[in-house]
A = this chain, B = another copy of it.
C-alpha cells in the first residue's frame, strides 16, 4: 500500500490559494488557544479577527436582527407559536406560518433552484430596487454567494486557454476557483490614486493582452462595492463596462454582496448592473450575486444567497439547474434568511420599529468606524488609506522599509505577510496581507475589517505597532 500523498492528487488543487483563511488565520487560532493557558506570556489578552468579514463573530459587536432570528426559530419549531403565545410579534407569526405552508418542513429538500415562493420575493425585491422586471425563473438560491460564483466559474472554464478578467486587488475566491478549474486569471488593476476606481481602458488592454497570448476572456468579474477596496462604481462607468462586455461577447459576473453596506448613500449610492443592463437593453449575459452574509444582515453562518441570471437562454438555465440538482438544494434555513432579507418588516408592521432601530445602529457604527480608522491610518508615516464608501473593509497601503523587506525575504515571506505576522504576534490583531488580494509590484497593503468594537483602542494598537515597526526597521 502506497500512502496517499499530495502528488497523487489533482495538481490544480495544489495551486489554489485562499489567504483570508490562510497562514495568518491559522496562526491566530493557535494564539487564541495559547491565551487560554493562564501562564502564557503573550503581549495581548485577546485575538481580534480582522481578517474576515464575519460581523457576528465572537468579540465583534454586530448583533443579529431580532426579526430574522424570530422567523428562523419559528420555522424550526412551528409549535412555538401556540406554546409561547405573545412571545413572537404577530407579523413574525404570520410570516412563519406562510413560509411553513409553502415549504412544508424546513427539514425537507426544497426545489434545487430554491423555494419558488422565496424566489418570487427575491424578484420583487429586485424590481423594487431597480425599477425593471425580474423573473423568479432566472433566480437561483445558493449557499452564500461563494457557492454560486464557484458553480458559474466551473461551467464557464474549459481549460487553461479560458480566462476570466479579475480586478486587482480582488477577493481571492476568484483566483482560488480559477486555479481549481485550471482557468487563466486575466488581471486588471484598480486605481488607488483615484479611490480604487475601475478603468474601462485598463480592462480593454487586459482583454487585448489576453487575446494576444491566446487566452479567451469568457467573463468579467466586477465586485461592487469593492472587496477589499470598498469602492463604488458610478453609473456611467457601469454603462461603459456593459458596452465592453457587449463588444467582446463577455459574460459579466457582478459580485454585489456589499450592496447594503453604504456609508454615504447620498454621495455614493449603489446601482445594480441588472438595472444598467436593463436600462441599456443590452443583450450581455449577466449573473448578479447577493448574500445574507453581509450588509446589516451579517448572517454568514446561515449560508444564504442568490444569483440572478439576465440574458441567459433556457438551455443554459437548464444546465445550471442540472448542476445545482446534483447538490440537491441550498440549506433551507439559508433560503429563509434570504426571504427575511428581501422582505424586511415595513413601516407600520409590529416588528418595524425594532428592525429600523437595529439596522440604523449597525449602518451608523460601520460608517463612523470606517471614517475614524481611515483618518487615523492616513495620519501615520508611510501609510495611506482610501476612506472607502462601502463594504466592510479598508485596504491601507504601507511603505515597508528596505531592511524589513530584507528580513522578510530571509524568512521566505512576502514583506506584507511579514508585517501582518508581526502585527498579529505583537497586538493580537489578525489582518490579511495585500499579497492575498493582489497589488502592483513593489507596493504593499493589508486588508482589515471595520467590525471591531472599541475603535479607539484598536487603532491605538495599530498605530503603536506601526511606529515601533518603523523605528525597528527604519523608514
Given known contacts A87-B80, A109-B300, is B1 in contact with A249 (CB within 8 Å)? Answer: yes
Given known contacts A18-B322, A84-B87, A107-B56, is B157 in contact with A10 (CB within 8 Å)? Answer: yes
User: How far is it, in angstroms, between the C-alpha of A469 and the C-alpha of B332 when the chains are bound?
Assistant: 39
A301 contacts which of B108, B144, B319, B323 (Cβ < 8 Å)? B108
**What chain B residues lie within 8 Å of A14 (beta carbons)?**
319
A333 touches B (CB below 8 Å): yes
Contact in complex: B283, A1 (CB < 8 Å)? yes
A144 contacts which of B80, B146, B245, B328 (Cβ < 8 Å)? B328
A77 contacts which of B70, B103, B329, B330 (Cβ < 8 Å)? B70
**What chain B residues lie within 8 Å of A379 (beta carbons)?**
none
**What chain B residues lie within 8 Å of A111 (beta carbons)?**
29
A441 touches B (CB below 8 Å): no
Contact in complex: A284, B1 (CB < 8 Å)? yes
Stretch of A121-129, A226-234, A268-276, A308-316 lying at the B interface: A308-316
Contact in complex: A301, B110 (CB < 8 Å)? yes
Given known contacts A11-B158, A155-B10, is B64 in contact with A69 (CB within 8 Å)? Answer: no
A20 and chain B: residue at smallest CB distance? B325
**Nearest-Cβ distance from residue A48 to partner chain B, whole angstroms:** 14
Contact in complex: B109, A5 (CB < 8 Å)? no
A177 touches B (CB below 8 Å): yes
Contact in complex: B16, A155 (CB < 8 Å)? no
- Interface hits, A1-15 → B, CB 8 Å: 1-6, 8-14
**What chain B residues lie within 8 Å of A293 (beta carbons)?**
109
**What chain B residues lie within 8 Å of A363 (beta carbons)?**
none
A177 contacts which of B66, B106, B326 (Cβ < 8 Å)? B326
What is the count of identical protomers in the complex? 2
Contact in complex: B4, A285 (CB < 8 Å)? yes
User: How far is it, in angstroms, between the C-alpha of A302 and the C-alpha of B334 when the chains are bound?
Assistant: 9
User: How far is it, in angstroms, between the C-alpha of A150 and the C-alpha of B328 when the chains are bound?
Assistant: 12
User: How far is it, in angstroms, between the C-alpha of A111 and the C-alpha of B25 when the chains are bound?
Assistant: 10
A300 contacts which of B108, B146, B246, B326 (Cβ < 8 Å)? B108
User: How far is it, in angstroms, between the C-alpha of A21 and the C-alpha of B55 when the chains are bound?
Assistant: 36
User: How far is it, in angstroms, between the C-alpha of A16 and the C-alpha of B319 when the chains are bound?
Assistant: 9
A298 touches B (CB below 8 Å): yes
A87 contacts which of B58, B72, B83, B323 (Cβ < 8 Å)? B83
Taking each of A20, A73, A147, which has the highest tally of chain B beta carbons within 10 Å of its own beta carbon? A73
**What chain B residues lie within 8 Å of A387 (beta carbons)?**
none
A52 touches B (CB below 8 Å): yes
Known: A22-B322, A22-B325, A300-B328; 9 extra A-B contacts, CB below 8 A, are A6-B315, A6-B319, A56-B107, A103-B301, A107-B299, A108-B300, A143-B331, A303-B330, A331-B334
| A and B contact pairs by CB, cutoff 8 A, 26 listed | A4-B312, A5-B316, A9-B158, A10-B155, A10-B181, A12-B158, A13-B155, A13-B322, A18-B325, A21-B328, A55-B108, A56-B108, A57-B105, A57-B109, A58-B105, A73-B74, A73-B77, A76-B76, A84-B87, A107-B302, A108-B301, A109-B301, A146-B326, A146-B328, A176-B326, A302-B331
